[in-house]
Amino acid sequence: MDKIWVLAASRAGSPSPAELETIAAARSFAPLVEAFTYGPDTSVLPALLGQHGVRRCYDLGDLGSRLAGAAVVDAFVGAMNDHGAPDALFVVASYDGRDVAGRLSAKLDVPVITNVVGLVDESGSLVSEHAVFGGSTIARARFSSEGPWIFVIRAKSFVASPTGGPPAEVVPVRGTCMVAHEEARIVARHVEAHDGPSLDDASVVVSGGRGLGDRSNFALIEALARLLNGAVGASRAIVDAGWVPYAYQVGQTGKTVKPDVYIACGISGATQHIVGMKDAKRVIAINKDPSAPIVAIADLGVIGDATEVLPRLIKVLEGRESHGR
């Protein structure tokens, strides 16, 4: 493969960690990696992306309240005609990424492969890997048609690795959309508030499940996470029950996390949850059921009621904190 394009948006002046992961993946398969950039403050992206090996940025600039999908796809096709089509496009499995991938697939009449957790080069052809049956099996797929191949990649599937390269060259591009697309506007944005590190980047994640018994007991999860400078997670069961926002959900239909330590409190360990945290370096399970699936995969299993174990653990940690230890 000669050239891969990646999609990178400016959010608070930087790309997302998952986008930097896709850039690292692209570098391992092609000597030339270029990016499509958009959003506020894209002027800071060339230097940041250049440090990760991106050679050129096709920049749409600030789209304001416009939806990204249609504008990005239109600009993509224009850049492809002006600068040559890439062998593949890598996008993160985000709302914008999936939107762009679907629209571009229809526009170019090419297929798209989604939910990618790994990629392998076999004789110049990329073979994608997909976790199925709760991550217990890895399925493989490849394109049988001509490219550009579109891959939608799950977060935490690759590791971001800066190269220390120079700032990327900037090529301004413009996406001219149909009138119907221009009429669609973003009227408000909602960002989930959180204390401490984000769930995507935390080295410690403390998650709670139905075994906590009552919504009020989720405060124990938050207290433990604060003491460990960790992020708060949750199982789908308590998200569906309305205890916590969807942004907390870890699992196949939530977020994929890869912390140094994952503490599962009152979580049975359904396969859908395990697929979202199975790559944690260390797993600690607090559960009163010794036969719970989460205990079977844990490095340390604490057999007991989480609502009794957690207050004791919190008390010990608060004591150490008060003594500066």
pLDDT tens track for 169-226: 999 988 666 555 667 777 877 666 556 688 888 999 999 999 999 999 999 999 999 9
Distances (CA, A) of 84 to 3, 5, 62, 78, 187: 9, 11, 24, 10, 36
Other C-beta atoms within 10 Å of 129: how many? 15
d(CA 212, CA 310): 10
Reduced to 3 states (helix: H, G, I; strand: E, B; else coil), residue 204 is strand
* pLDDT, tens only, 51-82: 999 999 999 888 877 778 888 898 888 899 89
Domains in the chain: ranges and CATH: 3-183 (3.40.50.620), 204-322 (3.40.50.1220)
Which tokens belong to 91?
A: 């996008």
Q: What is the pLDDT of residue 39?
A: 87
Closest CA to 115 of 155, 153, 142, 148: 153
Are the C-beta atoms of residues 42 and 79 closer than 8 Å to each other?
A: no
Which tokens belong to 127?
A: 């073979």
Positions in the chain whose pLDDT score sits under 70: 12, 134, 175-182, 190-196, 321-325
Which tokens belong to 220?
A: 């124990």
Other C-beta atoms within 10 Å of 45: how many? 26
d(CA 34, CA 87): 11
Q: What is the pLDDT of residue 52?
A: 96
Q: What is the pLDDT of residue 289?
A: 95
d(CA 157, CA 20): 11
d(CA 285, CA 279): 15
Other C-beta atoms within 10 Å of 6: how many? 31
d(CA 16, CA 9): 8
Indicate the pTM of the whole model. Answer: 0.80
d(CA 65, CA 40): 11
d(CA 62, CA 41): 7
Are the C-beta atoms of residues 83 and 200 closer than 8 Å to each other?
A: no
Closest CA to 235 of 260, 206, 258: 206
Q: What is the pLDDT of residue 180?
A: 54
Largest CA distance in the chain: 65
